[in-house]
Amino acid sequence: MENQKNVTEFIFLGLWRNQKLEQLSFFLFLLCYLAVLMGNVTILLTITCSHLMEQPMYYFLCHLSLMDLCYTSSVVPRLIRDLAAARKSISYHECMTQLFAAHLLAGVEIFILVCMALDRYVAIVKPLHYTVIMNRKSCSILIGTAWGHGFCHSITLLLMVLSLPSCGPNQIDHYICDVKPLLKLACKDVRVVNILLTANSGMVVVVIFLVLVASYILILYHLRTKSSAGCRKALSTCSSHVTVVVLFFVPCIYIYALPAGDQNMDKDISVFYTVIAPMLNPLIYTLRNMEMKISMRKVWSQMLHCRLR
């Protein structure tokens, strides 16, 4: 514990180690963050202020948008600030807080995506039992379970990092506090911790991704007996979810399933699930969803009407 206190702050090396390029990127990431805020707040307001909240699919989508909003806000504001700063520093305690918060919210989001896949599976494979299986109580239990799994995942990672002696250097080759960059700074053999990290994050992400792929293969298998209209509607809903799953899981698998190394493009790939995926998710779920677009028009027209009165 004494060694850990030798490092009181960390210095981020940033995305590209090029100050001019990072200053230009400041406006790009600021626009991306504003798009994340606007898109996810729009979905939250649309669902919570309409009848859509009563449907399990949109209940889970509401929680997914909330996680995207919170997760991005735990990472991107500091990134934007650091892009314009000459010295990108973060205190030891702030770093540990960011590590815990980011992995907690990402862990919850992963299990919400599993809940959404389960909802689509039950709706298509067992339509007669759908209202019984996916009632509000079971949906709330699934969300509570997602938070429980996310907390267990993040607290395990935090305890692993806190157990490592951080006695220098204090330069993190990243733009956020994550486990793999912090492992490179530990002044002891981290091979065992690397294995535990891969088991805790990498293997879990891979297994969940394979389970999601298997669930959609089963859904496609059952859709062969549906009418063409029903098949198109189901495929439209499922394709949106598959797109979100791929955008989130593929970068995570690259980062957490592979061992730490000097040549890894972790900080470049991590932009996909910290910025790009949360920005695109609202578009993916609204552009191809007629019910969502109709509810959005109704809710926003009502809000505008109330303001004008």
pLDDT at 74: 92
**Residue for token pair 């649309």:** 46
Phi, psi angles (nearest 5°) of residue 85: -100, 145
Nearest to 198 by CA among 261, 154, 256, 265: 256
pLDDT at 69: 94
pLDDT at 259 over 80: no
Cα–Cα distance, 102 to 145 (Å, whole number): 18
Give the H/E segment covering residue 109: helix 92-125
Confidence of residue 309 (pLDDT cuts 50, 70, 90): low
240 in Cβ contact with 248 (< 8 Å)? no
Percent of the chain whose pLDDT exceeds 70: 89
Radius of gyration of the chain (CA): 21
- Highest mean pLDDT: which of 213-217, 227-231, 300-304? 213-217
* pLDDT tens-digit series, residues 284-299: 887 767 778 788 788 7
Q: Say if strands 171-172 and 89-91 run parallel, antiparallel, or are unpaired.
A: unpaired
Both tokens of 236, joined, read: 């439209």
In this structure, the number of other CB atoms found within 10 A of the CB of residue 163 comes to: 12
Confidence of residue 204 (pLDDT cuts 50, 70, 90): confident
**Residue for token pair 């204090």:** 170
Which domains are seen in the chain, by residue range? 9-260+268-300 (1.20.1070.10)
pLDDT at 234: 66
For 256-289, letters b (16+ CB in 10 Å) and e give: beeebeeeeebbebbbbbbbebbbbbbebbbeeb
For 3-17, letters b (16+ CB in 10 Å) and e give: ebeebeebebebbee
pLDDT at 3: 43
Q: Please state, rounded to an integer, the average pLDDT across all residues of the chain.
A: 84
Confidence of residue 13 (pLDDT cuts 50, 70, 90): confident
Tell me what percent of the chain is helix, strand and coil, each rounded to the nearest 5: 80, 5, 20
pLDDT at 2 over 50: no
Lowest mean per-residue pLDDT among 35-44, 160-169, 233-242 = 233-242
* pLDDT tens-digit series, residues 124-178: 888 888 989 999 999 999 999 999 999 999 998 899 888 887 776 788 888 889 8
Give the H/E segment covering residue 8: none
Nearest to 28 by CA among 74, 98, 76, 65: 76
The mean pLDDT value for 174-187 works out to 84
Cα–Cα distance, 150 to 100 (Å, whole number): 10
Lowest mean per-residue pLDDT among 47-61, 97-111, 179-193 = 179-193
List C-alpha distances in Å: 193 to 101, 161, 164: 20, 9, 9
